[in-house]
Amino acid sequence: MREDKPPVEEKKLSLIEQMQAAVALLTDSATNRVDEHTQAMRWAHCLQCTKRLQAFSVLHLAQKDKCSLCGCFLCWKIPTHTDPVETRKQGKEVLTACTAGHW
């Protein structure tokens, strides 16, 4: 975690939720992507956000940027058009959006 950010309480996705999100992203990766401009805009907001932290990803076996509000790893959430975790939970298509309302 960067020194200039106050500590934040981390929301954690279960390992099952992480695996479900990964499978969803891999199976519909071509059709569920936003354009490069949208991805760049999202990254710009997220990299400035005080709710971003570094967390260990079991699937990546490495530290990755993560949103402490929703529990999503940014490398999964930013490029997607629909949110695979929320879509599965709600049983209907849910558009990906920043939990803090930045995008």
9 part of a folded domain: no
33 part of a folded domain: yes
Domain hosting 36: range is 15-90
CA angle, 75 then 80 then 86, to 5°:
100
Look up residue 68 and give its two tokens. Answer: 């402490």
The mean pLDDT value for 59-85 works out to 85
Over residues 30-61, the pLDDT tens digits come to: 678 899 999 999 999 999 999 999 888 776 77
pTM greater than the 0.75 cutoff: no
46 part of a folded domain: yes
Residue 87 has pLDDT above 90, yes or no: no
What is the number of alpha carbons within 13 Å of residue 52 lying toward its C-beta? Answer: 21
102 part of a folded domain: no
Look up residue 87 and give its two tokens. Answer: 């879509």
Provide the greatest CA pair distance for the chain.
40
Which residue from 85, 91, 50, 92 is spatially nearest to 71, judged by alpha carbons?
A: 85
Other residues' Cβ atoms within 10 Å of the Cβ of residue 82 = 16
Of residues 23 and 44, more confidence is placed in: 44
How many domains does the structure of the chain reveal? Answer: 1
Residue 1: the pLDDT is 43
54 part of a folded domain: yes
103 part of a folded domain: no
4 part of a folded domain: no
Residue 3 has pLDDT above 70, yes or no: no
